Structure 1
Amino acid sequence: MTTFVDRVVLHLQAGDGGHGCVSIHREKFKPFGGPDGGNGGHGGSVSLVVDPQVHTLLDFHFRPHVKASNGKGGAGSNRDGANGADLVLRVPNGTVVQTTGGTVLADLVGAGTTFEVARGGRGGRGNAALANARRKAPGFAELGEPGDKLDAVLELKSVADIGLVGYPSAGKSSLISVISAAKPKIADYPFTTLVPNLGVVRVDNHTFTVADVPGLIPGAATGKGLGLEFLRHVERCAVLVHVVDTATLETARDPVADIDAIEAELAAYGGLADRPRLVALNKIDVPDGRDLAEIVRPDLEARGFRVFEVSAATREGLKELMFAMGELVAAARAAAPPVEPTRIVIRPKAVDDAGFTVEAAPDGAWVVRGTRPERWIRQTNFDNEEAVGYLADRLARLGVEEKLGKAGAQAGDLVRIGEREFDWHPTLYAEFVPGVRGGDQRLAEKTQRPSAAERLAARKARRQRPGDEPESDELDGDSGE
């Protein structure tokens, strides 16, 4: 059973932020010493970092569920909650992070490359942090935000300069074992290699890596054999080397047909047409193999291939092949665009950009989208009237009320922000009116006083009753008091 895993699905859960604390300082002779509730701690995040000592995704195959710790809640005496511990997952070089839908989130290449895949939730502020000149002793605190939760697909694509491709038992593993220090499994039966092997080759002043890809067969790009699982490992290779068995006992095969079959699979997989190719006619230590190599060499050179007759057993012709590999790798590196230093570009927000949008949904609701409004919704404790009033004030100061009115929203319309829905009533006051701690006078008034639509409907109903005189507006509560 192979222990190589190059594709896993991770179920990630960042830590939730801790709730803020509602507390009033009390000591002898000072019964109301002011708010002293601390802030909640931030939830832990989940990050991926490239570790050169990790070569497979095997650990995640057995433990796909990853969860960071939550932040602790705040406490009295201005004590902030502890932050949740971040989780750092070590992945191999060349790991690609995707969503389950196939969207690439990050391509991690290079030791130490880090990507925060799931961010922890922010901790809620305590009532000490929410106090101001008008709201001297808030009776509420913010809730902690939930951490990110997602499923991420990790795919490993080997980072190698040269990829050895060919039929099973063509001698790829033998070749990489003699030109590098790699020790792959070698046997005289097909599909001996079940995992990609990497080897480092040094020749002259060139140093490069070679990947031995498990044998390909016709139909590999559509799922036959092992090719579909491992063709991704040649995507990053700058040069492809066809390793051809010239001493095969299968009479229906010949070197030219083998190369045509492999090229068809590479074309079906896509994205590899621009890579330079070399051809290594292997096993010329066998007399029949040497004769066949000499016969097919002119045909392959006529197609534009650089052909080398080699023997992994006797090491004949390997020096010339290695020098050719080094030259092509050096040329590919020289042609690669230079890595430019990262520049931080500061783009100021447009003057008319409020940071949110108001759109009409097909079901008749008004949908408010924006980072701040949605975050404020998550942080609000809707069981506390004062917290709801504070949210209304924040939305009004941001301009949500004004923009809803300009968009055509009417009193009583359904408004959706994040996962919450409300019946919209234009704010009567722009600022907080001091009252009972934990309550809001404006919400009490709205609860006791019928809405304008209800009062209008009641007045029309009374006027339509026969024999009744219409009542004055003062009796209906429309006097403006």
Structure 2
Amino acid sequence: MTTFVDRVELHVAAGNGGHGCASVHREKFKPLGGPDGGNGGRGGDVILIVDQSVTTLLDYHHSPHRKATNGKPGEGGNRSGKDGQDLVLPVPDGTVVFDGAGNVLADLVGHGTSYIAAQGGRGGLGNAALSSARRKAPGFALLGVPGDLQDIVLELKTVADVALVGYPSAGKSSLISVLSAAKPKIADYPFTTLVPNLGVVTAGETVYTIADVPGLIPGASQGKGLGLEFLRHVERCSVLVHILDTATLESERDPISDLDMIEEELKQYGGLDRRPRMVVLNKIDVPDGKDLAEMVRPDLEARGYRVFEVSAVAHTGLRELSFAIAEFVAASRAAKPKEEATRIVIRPKAVDDSGFTVVQEEDGLFRVRGEKPERWVRQTDFSNDEAVGYLADRLNRLGVEASLMKVGARSGDGVAIGPEDNAVVFDWEPTVMAGAEMLGRRGEDHRLDEPRPATQRRRDKQAERDEATQEFEEFKPF
């Protein structure tokens, strides 16, 4: 049964915005008291956040589809809908977020670091919010905007200062178990370790984390075995420690050839061969292992490596090794540039940026793309003529109609707003004020005129009766 997962594909869906409400206030003696439709609630976001208590992506391997809640629709009486609840997904420290094309979206390092993977949709405005001096009684409301749908890939890269690398059964798990409090699985057969193990080591005033990376084999950088999965966890480590087996039972292997193979795989993977490295000759408690270590040590030191002879079983040479690693870690930390205070980068839009584009496609269709026009289309109830006219007026004020004329669009030409797979297509009819000829003087509603007093209404009715009686008396036969 799988207990450790470091790469998953996740399908996230943010909540949809709630629809606005079209309502008219009514009460005794004031049946048409004005619009009072509330706004729809915002859809919930899907948020990834680093949680130190989470160490694997296993939960998302079993249930890769996650969705936030939708916003509630608005109601009459100026009651806005409730916002959707954000969906917070905890991820391990060191998680990298990719899109479907392999582009890095976020690198989540540090407890509490968060990233909005899918943005919730806006809530639609109710007719109360849409009313104005010239639009006293809107008979429509805006629809809520659908939330984002995203397919993302999460990859876990272990966050550690030191990585122990080497052939399977070189003694990496044994070494981390005696240097730290970690308790990895240890056995005398290859690939005992199938997942990275982390341990915390204290050497004097330096505290560092050490990772036991599962054994590498020739071709690991090309994906042989589980090479790519293993090497991924080495990327964040600042110091690499080669664990070489001086008591291997395989006659064709020796510490020098093992080191050359691992170095070649690190080079082929890219960038890892430039990290600070040291060499540990392990298993010197075995008589032949001690002799072999003394034989190869001069060659390794000639290559510029610091070499340590240890025995994880006999606890030989561990203190010297621990403090030497601490020196490497301290030097690596000191060499890193100091983190600067968070800066806010403001990138103002160009003065000639209209916020949309209009292009003519090969089939003659004119396509309008832009965040505002596409969102306005999604918010429009096309079964309501007044809502359609409102959309047309907004597009006209934004400059879409003028741009269509500029690129050569004529009356009756096809115009599409939005991407090819989800666009609204219509035949364009240029107007001076879009929608005006369809709806007349939109926004004026005689029903909202101030009602006359009851006594005045009785007098008016009596006057009408008197006038009718007088006309009858004048024209009745003698």
Structure 2-normalised TM-score?
Answer: 0.89
Aligned amino acid, residue 246 of structure 2: T
**1:347 to partner: Cα distance:** 3.7
Aligned to 1:104: 104
* Equivalent-residue separation in structure 2 for 1:31 and 1:166 (angstroms): 83
Structure 2 contact 136–444 (Cα < 8 Å) conserved: no
Calculate percent identity across the aligned residue pairs: 71
Aligned amino acid, residue 358 of structure 1: V
Q: Is structure 2 residue 15 aligned with structure 1 residue 11? A: no
* Equivalent-residue separation in structure 1 for 2:41 and 2:2 (angstroms): 43
Aligned amino acid, residue 426 of structure 1: P
**1:438 to partner: Cα distance:** 10
Among candidates 426, 431, 435, match of residue 427 of structure 1: 431
SS in 2 for 1:210: strand
SS in 2 for 1:208: strand
Aligned amino acid, residue 427 of structure 2: D
Aligned counterparts, 1:37-76, within 5 A: 37-76=37-76
Q: Is structure 2 residue 235 aligned with structure 1 residue 266? A: no
**1:437 to partner: Cα distance:** 7.7
CA 166–293 in structure 1, closer or farther in 2 if over 3 Å, else same: same
Structure 1 contact 396–427 (Cα < 8 Å) conserved: no
Q: Is structure 2 residue 90 aligned with structure 1 residue 90? A: yes
**1:267 to partner: Cα distance:** 1.5
Aligned to 2:123: 123
* Equivalent-residue separation in structure 1 for 2:363 and 2:314 (angstroms): 76
**In the TM superposition, what whole-angstrom CA distance separates every residue of 1:239-270 from its partner, at most 9, and x where no partner exists?**
11110110011111000000111112112211
**1:408 to partner: Cα distance:** 1.6
* Equivalent-residue separation in structure 1 for 2:335 and 2:222 (angstroms): 32
Aligned to 1:443: none
**1:428 to partner: Cα distance:** 3.2
**In the TM superposition, what whole-angstrom CA distance separates every residue of 1:168-199 from its partner, at most 9, and x where no partner exists?**
11000000000111110111111110110000
**In the TM superposition, what whole-angstrom CA distance separates every residue of 1:292-314 from its partner, at most 9, and x where no partner exists?**
00101111111221111111111
Aligned counterparts, 1:249-398, within 5 A: 249-398=249-398
**1:91 to partner: Cα distance:** 0.5
**1:385 to partner: Cα distance:** 0.8
**In the TM superposition, what whole-angstrom CA distance separates every residue of 1:377-420 from its partner, at most 9, and x where no partner exists?**
11111111111110111111111111111122122222221121
Aligned amino acid, residue 60 of structure 1: Y
Aligned amino acid, residue 289 of structure 1: G
* Equivalent-residue separation in structure 2 for 1:97 and 1:208 (angstroms): 26
SS in 2 for 1:273: helix
Aligned to 1:146: 146
* Equivalent-residue separation in structure 2 for 1:409 and 1:6 (angstroms): 53
Structure 2 contact 436–442 (Cα < 8 Å) conserved: no
- Farther off after superposition, 302-311 or 281-290: 302-311
**1:203 to partner: Cα distance:** 0.3
- Farther off after superposition, 302-311 or 106-115: 302-311
SS in 2 for 1:234: coil
Aligned amino acid, residue 378 of structure 1: R
Aligned to 1:203: 203
* Equivalent-residue separation in structure 1 for 2:241 and 2:221 (angstroms): 18
Structure 1-normalised TM-score?
Answer: 0.89
**1:430 to partner: Cα distance:** 5.6
* Equivalent-residue separation in structure 2 for 1:2 and 1:190 (angstroms): 19
**1:431 to partner: Cα distance:** 7.7
**1:226 to partner: Cα distance:** 2.5
**1:273 to partner: Cα distance:** 2.3
Structure 1 contact 139–437 (Cα < 8 Å) conserved: no
- Farther off after superposition, 410-419 or 119-128: 410-419
Q: Is structure 2 residue 251 aligned with structure 1 residue 214? A: no
* Equivalent-residue separation in structure 2 for 1:217 and 1:189 (angstroms): 14
Structure 1 contact 175–312 (Cα < 8 Å) conserved: yes
Aligned amino acid, residue 122 of structure 1: R
* Equivalent-residue separation in structure 2 for 1:214 and 1:64 (angstroms): 26
- Farther off after superposition, 90-99 or 297-306: 297-306
**In the TM superposition, what whole-angstrom CA distance separates every residue of 1:323-382 from its partner, at most 9, and x where no partner exists?**
221111111111112111112233433322221122222332222221111111111111
Aligned to 2:472: none
**1:157 to partner: Cα distance:** 0.2
SS in 2 for 1:8: strand
Aligned counterparts, 1:393-412, within 5 A: 393-412=393-412
Aligned amino acid, residue 174 of structure 2: S
Structure 1 contact 134–432 (Cα < 8 Å) conserved: no
Cα RMSD, aligned residues only? 1.7
**1:427 to partner: Cα distance:** 2.1
* Equivalent-residue separation in structure 2 for 1:438 and 1:148 (angstroms): 33
SS in 1 for 2:12: strand
* Equivalent-residue separation in structure 2 for 1:137 and 1:273 (angstroms): 71
**1:232 to partner: Cα distance:** 0.2
Structure 1 contact 358–369 (Cα < 8 Å) conserved: yes
* Equivalent-residue separation in structure 2 for 1:366 and 1:6 (angstroms): 46
- Farther off after superposition, 260-269 or 140-149: 260-269
* Equivalent-residue separation in structure 2 for 1:113 and 1:432 (angstroms): 51
* Equivalent-residue separation in structure 1 for 2:8 and 2:431 (angstroms): 51
**1:320 to partner: Cα distance:** 1.7
Paired positions, count: 440
Structure 2 contact 396–433 (Cα < 8 Å) conserved: no
Aligned counterparts, 1:227-266, within 5 A: 227-266=227-266
Aligned to 2:78: 78
Aligned amino acid, residue 323 of structure 1: F
